Amino acid sequence: MSGIKGRVYAITGAASGIGRASAIRLAELGAGGLAICDVNIEGLDKTKELCSLAGTKVVASTVDVRSQQQVQKWIDNTVAEFGRLDGAANIAGIAGGAGDTTCATIEESDWDRMMDVNLKGVMWCMRAQIPHLPRPGGAIVNISSTSGLRGFPHNAAYSSSKFGVIGLTSSVAGEFGAEGIRINSLLPGPIRTEMFEAGEAKGLFDSEKISKLTCLGRMGKPDEVAKVLCFLLSDDASYVTGGESFSSIGNVSQRFDTFQRNGPSMVGMLPAEERITGLR
């Protein structure tokens, strides 16, 4: 994969799941430096340790992406440390938390938290990152979700935030494309992350049901998403910008549509009264 070696990348949500897998993949591809952040300090330290095995210099920072000030300081410190910033992967996000609520019953605090992390956080990150990116050659990948393509009952906040990431990404890509900066969104489907496994252990998710709804008959793995993300950051994707790329294991299919029509629960979930939303 060309154009990764020696370059410096900033990654949010790097303490686990897709964020950790992406950081490790970039390190294995020879990235010259990684600035990783999260609110999970223990997980972040583990990611730093794993990335350092590849010989990549890694700086880990505790950052709440809801805070513009924290994000700006993080990026400024990154550039001061490495002398450059070539690209970024904005992965930090949350899922669920609103339980079995509807538009009529969701708490304002639950709605605001979802939007602040999943959507506003991406905006603050791009706002801080773009001024430092090389022109041409800079690249950003923002994580959305296949839930950003269609809504599901009892999932309004999460889906709305992920729809928003797609629109935000497309708009900003148009604003900076003439300067040679590429910005894309990546839409994972059901991925077996630590967050998913913790939910399944509590009986909140059913991986067997989810797997049956995918064309390949299984859930995706974080490193499979990371490979697509790294492609989008690389020079091999030099003519790809403003679009939505999928790492969905074929779950956006007729099976997916049929489930939505025939059942009230989100794809692969337990009955609504036992469910929390979000798959990523």
The domain locations on the chain are 8-191+222-250
Which residue in this structure is represented by tokens 């350092």? 52
Q: Which of 158, 202, 212, 239 is catalytic?
A: 158
Residue 251 confidence (pLDDT): 55
Per-residue pLDDT 10s for the chain (280 aa) are: 899 999 999 999 999 999 999 999 999 999 999 999 999 999 999 999 999 999 999 999 999 999 999 999 999 999 999 999 999 999 999 986 555 688 999 999 999 999 999 999 999 999 999 999 999 999 999 999 988 888 878 889 999 999 999 999 999 999 999 999 999 999 998 899 887 787 788 776 788 888 888 888 899 999 999 999 999 999 999 999 998 776 655 555 544 444 443 433 333 333 333 333 333 4
Largest separation between any pair of C-alpha atoms in the chain: 54
Nearest-angstrom CA–CA distance, 145 and 32: 29
158 annotated active-site: yes
In DSSP terms, 86 is beta-bridged to: none
Contact (Cβ atoms closer than 8 angstroms) between residue 78 and residue 35: yes
Residue 265 confidence (pLDDT): 38
48 annotated active-site: no
Q: Which of 162, 202, 212, 227 is catalytic?
A: 162
Residue 256 confidence (pLDDT): 46
What are 51's two structure tokens?
């990335």
- Cα torsion 7, 10, 11, 12 to 10°: value is 180
Residue 236 confidence (pLDDT): 97
End-to-end Cα distance, the chain:
26
Nearest-angstrom CA–CA distance, 218 and 40: 28
Kindly state the DSSP code that residue 271 receives in the 8-state scheme.
P
Q: Which CATH architecture has domain 8-191+222-250?
A: 3-Layer(aba) Sandwich (3.40)
